[in-house]
Amino acid sequence: MNLFSSEVPLRKGGIIVHIFIQTIKDRCHECYACVRNCPVKTVKVEDGQAEIIQERCIECTNCVNICSQGAKEIKIHLDKVRSLLKEEYSALAR
Ligand code: SF4
Ligand code: SF4
């Protein structure tokens, strides 16, 4: 499963937090709601499960909100957040 996607500009203070959307396969019931409601048509159903083509996802979170099974989860790129925090603190220390 590809868990990584493009970056999303969720702002926390002065820091941009990067997220990606993950499908919890066991919960997906192949209802196609996320496929129909994706504005950039980047969800496909393969082997009975919805998958996001991560490179094209604009992370609007429509699919997270529309999924009645709670099969879509928002995850945060912790490495990128840590790196941004480090940059922010070093800039403040100067
Ligand atoms: S909306 Fe949820 S249950 Fe329906 S296909 Fe998408 S991930 Fe699966
Ligand atoms: S977050 Fe938005 S763009 Fe990305 S797969 Fe879900 S509905 Fe499509």
76 forms bridges with which residues in the sheet?
19
pLDDT in tens, 18-68: 678 989 999 999 999 999 999 999 999 998 889 999 889 988 999 999 999
What is the structure's pLDDT at 70? 96
Is 90 exceeded by the pLDDT of residue 12? no
What is the structure's pLDDT at 19? 78
Buried residues in 71-94 as b, exposed as e (16+ CB within 10 A) = bbeeeebeeebeebeeeeeeeeee
What is the structure's pLDDT at 66? 97
Using the mean position of ligand 2's atoms as its centre, give its distance from the Cα of residue 49 in Å.
15
E strand or H helix at 52 = strand 49-52
User: Which residue's alpha carbon is nearest to atom 4 within ligand 1?
Assistant: 31
- Domain ranges for the chain: 10-89
CATH assignment of 10-89, given 1.10.940.10, 3.30.70.20, 3.40.50.1820, 3.30.300.30?
A: 3.30.70.20
- 5 falls in which pLDDT band (50, 70, 90)? very low
